[in-house]
Amino acid sequence: MTPEQRRKNRRTAIVLIVIVLAIVAWTFWRSGSLGGG
């Protein structure tokens, strides 16, 4: 595996983690707003 491939894989992993965290945070925020409002 070349360093370039590793860099691309790492970048892709970071992007996926950010997307998952955003979806989870948004879901919690929505459910919290609906339940607490």
Output the pLDDT for position 35. Answer: 66
pLDDT digits (tens, 9 = 90+) for 1-37: 799 999 999 999 999 999 999 999 999 888 887 766 5
Global confidence as pTM? 0.64
CA distance 37 to 18: 27
Q: Taking the C-alpha atoms of 13, 14, 19 and 25 in order, what is their torsion angle to the nearest 10 degrees?
A: 120
